[in-house]
């Protein structure tokens, strides 16, 4: 059997610490969800404190009524925090507000009796069930922790329903027994589960923040493709996959022709829109395993794992043709754009992405030198001029 005072003491301290941690996160992130999660943890600790005062204070309004209100407030604040959290779907919480108001009034009339605990158990069972539902509708990067938190909430809810039934049986005179031992076990489990949920929640939120920061750092704002940093990180990760070992890897390096003229003639904003337009072509052509990036001002790179030089060349040709086949429109002006591309290829492991890029760059230079609006896959200028 668990030693109840130890469980209460530990869960009191842990909830208080996690609550303070959330408040400090809110202090610099200024996201109301963190403030609310912090208050939820502190409300739980406070409820424990009020309930423990029963040992020294015979004042049921504080030790029963207020303790029950705070214990209900804790899962309610978690729901409110999840609702405010930016990854959640919109929720209609009005029925919950009314239910809590109604519960506060009901508790006011029954708080000196064991019915108060029964009502509280029933309400928090429902609130934990609803929390599990909300978490299940949210997208989190840490899927294992998400499942663990849902499980915690579901078990918690189940235990609270069982507690409601055990408390209801003697009240409704359906049983002579008072089920003290199982109720004590449920209380310990309730405290442990609430603490486990409080520990899992920051981990879950931090994983999403981490993921968001990483994707911001690796994404080009204008084109919404990877930036240079993202291209190398994602590229290296992809090439290390067993799936691509000893396979042909190709790289297309693409540069907009005479782009300076677009800026000079129509303005920088037109140039920006043109970059977005080209990026859209890249995105719509390379939808699968390819890694597309804007690695410089008007320069794009596409890494094609498991793709031969001739297939990469065909892909580059298709892209070049689709860009030059119809104009890009800016404020009613039709602007004809074209691109030049250099393509390089290797067997995965024989060259680094940097080396592939350098080879593609040499070929891109040849494409520019010999007239632009073309794709080059080899190094000799003489061959190119004969063609």
Could you tell me which residues come within 8 angstroms of residue 268 by beta carbon, excluding any fewer than 6 positions away?
none
Member of 75, 81, 271, 305 binding ligand GTP (CB under 6 A): 271
What Rg, from alpha-carbon coordinates, does the chain have? 31
Residue 182 near ligand GTP by CB under 6 A: no
Question: What's the CA gap between 91 and 97, in Å, rounded?
Answer: 12
Pattern of binders to ligand GTP over 314-353, x per CB under 6 A?
----------------------------------------
Residue 217 tokens, joined = 């750092």
65 versus 330: smaller Cβ distance to ligand GTP: 330
Segment contacting ligand GTP by CB under 6 A, of 8-16, 62-70, 159-167, 264-272: 264-272
Segment contacting ligand GTP by CB under 6 A, of 135-143, 152-160, 194-202, 254-262: 254-262
Least separation in angstroms between CB 22 and ligand GTP:
40
Q: Minimal CA–CA distance to 135: which of 204, 43, 228?
A: 204
Segment contacting ligand GTP by CB under 6 A, of 73-81, 101-109, 256-264, 374-382: 256-264
| Sign for the pseudo-dihedral over CA of 200, 204, 207, 209 | negative
149 versus 319: smaller Cβ distance to ligand GTP: 319
Strands 248-256 and 299-305, sheet pairing: antiparallel
Question: What's the CA gap between 93 and 10, in Å, rounded?
Answer: 32
Residue 260 near ligand GTP by CB under 6 A: yes
Strands 299-305 and 333-335, sheet pairing: unpaired
**Interaction residues for ligand GTP, span 14-73 (CB under 6 A):** none
Least separation in angstroms between CB 27 and ligand GTP:
36
How many residues interact with ligand GTP (rule CB under 6 A)?
16
Segment contacting ligand GTP by CB under 6 A, of 126-134, 143-151, 250-258, 328-336: 250-258
Residue 258 near ligand GTP by CB under 6 A: yes
Residue 272 near ligand GTP by CB under 6 A: yes
CB 294 within 8 A of CB 278: no
Provide the b/e sequence for 77-108 (b: ≥16 CB within 10 Å).
bbbbbbbbbeebeebeeeebeeebeebeeebe
Residue 373 near ligand GTP by CB under 6 A: no
Residue 256 near ligand GTP by CB under 6 A: yes
CB 52 within 8 A of CB 79: no
Member of 208, 218, 263, 352 binding ligand GTP (CB under 6 A): 263
Strand partners, 239: none
The arrangement of strands across the sheet holding 299-305 comes to 291-296, 299-305, 248-256, 339-347, 375-376
CB 313 within 8 A of CB 304: no
Question: What's the CA gap between 22 and 31, in Å, rounded?
Answer: 10
Member of 48, 255, 290, 373 binding ligand GTP (CB under 6 A): 255
Least separation in angstroms between CB 272 and ligand GTP:
5
**Interaction residues for ligand GTP, span 111-170 (CB under 6 A):** none
Residue 365 near ligand GTP by CB under 6 A: no
Least separation in angstroms between CB 256 and ligand GTP:
6
Segment contacting ligand GTP by CB under 6 A, of 21-29, 166-174, 260-268, 285-293: 260-268
Residue 20 tokens, joined = 């303070």
**Interaction residues for ligand GTP, span 281-310 (CB under 6 A):** 297-298
In a 3-state reduction of DSSP, which class is residue 374? Answer: coil
Segment contacting ligand GTP by CB under 6 A, of 26-34, 85-93, 194-202, 259-267: 259-267
CB 107 within 8 A of CB 69: yes
76 versus 330: smaller Cβ distance to ligand GTP: 330
Question: What's the CA gap between 43 and 18, in Å, rounded?
Answer: 12
How many CA atoms lie within 13 Å of 60's alpha carbon, on the beta-carbon side?
10
Pattern of binders to ligand GTP over 215-244, x per CB under 6 A?
-------x----------------------
Binding site for ligand GTP (CB under 6 A): 222, 255-260, 263, 268, 271-272, 275, 297-298, 368, 372
């Amino acid at each position: 059997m668990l030693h109840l005072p130890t469980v209460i003491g530990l869960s009191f301290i842990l909830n208080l610490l996690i609550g303070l941690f959330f408040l400090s996160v809110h202090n610099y992130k200024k996201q109301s969800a963190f403030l609310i999660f912090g208050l939820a943890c502190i409300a739980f600790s406070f409820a424990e404190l009020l309930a423990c005062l029963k040992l020294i204070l015979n004042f049921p309004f504080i030790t029963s009524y207020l303790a029950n209100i705070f214990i209900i407030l804790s899962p309610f604040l978690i729901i409110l925090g999840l609702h405010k959290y930016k990854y959640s779907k919109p929720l209609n919480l009005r029925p919950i507000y009314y239910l809590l108001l109604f519960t506060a009034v009901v508790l006011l009339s029954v708080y000196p009796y064991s019915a108060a605990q029964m009502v509280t158990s029933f309400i928090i069972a429902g609130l934990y069930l609803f929390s599990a539902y909300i978490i299940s509708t949210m997208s989190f990067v840490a899927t294992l922790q998400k499942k663990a938190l849902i499980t915690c909430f579901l078990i918690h809810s189940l235990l609270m329903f069982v507690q409601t039934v055990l408390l209801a049986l003697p009240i409704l005179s359906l049983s002579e027994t008072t089920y003290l031992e199982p109720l004590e076990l449920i209380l310990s489990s309730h405290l442990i589960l609430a603490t486990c949920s409080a520990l899992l929640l920051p981990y879950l939120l931090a994983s999403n923040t981490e993921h968001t920061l990483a994707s911001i750092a690796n994404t080009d704002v204008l084109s919404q493709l990877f930036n240079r940093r993202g291209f190398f990180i994602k590229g290296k990760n992809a090439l290390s996959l067993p799936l691509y070992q000893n396979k042909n890897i190709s790289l297309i390096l693409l540069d907009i022709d005479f782009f300076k003229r677009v800026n000079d003639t129509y303005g920088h904003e037109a140039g920006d829109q043109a970059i977005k337009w080209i990026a859209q072509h890249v995105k719509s052509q390379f939808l699968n395993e390819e890694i597309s990036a804007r690695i410089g001002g008007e320069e794009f790179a596409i890494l094609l794992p498991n793709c031969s030089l001739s297939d990469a060349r065909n892909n580059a040709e298709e892209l070049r043709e689709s860009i030059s086949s119809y104009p890009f429109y800016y404020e009613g002006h039709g602007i004809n754009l074209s691109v030049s591309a250099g393509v390089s290829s290797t067997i995965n492991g024989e060259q680094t992405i940097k080396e592939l890029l350098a080879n593609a760059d040499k070929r891109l230079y040849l494409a520019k030198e010999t007239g632009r609006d073309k794709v080059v896959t080899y190094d000799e200028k003489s061959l190119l001029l004969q063609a």
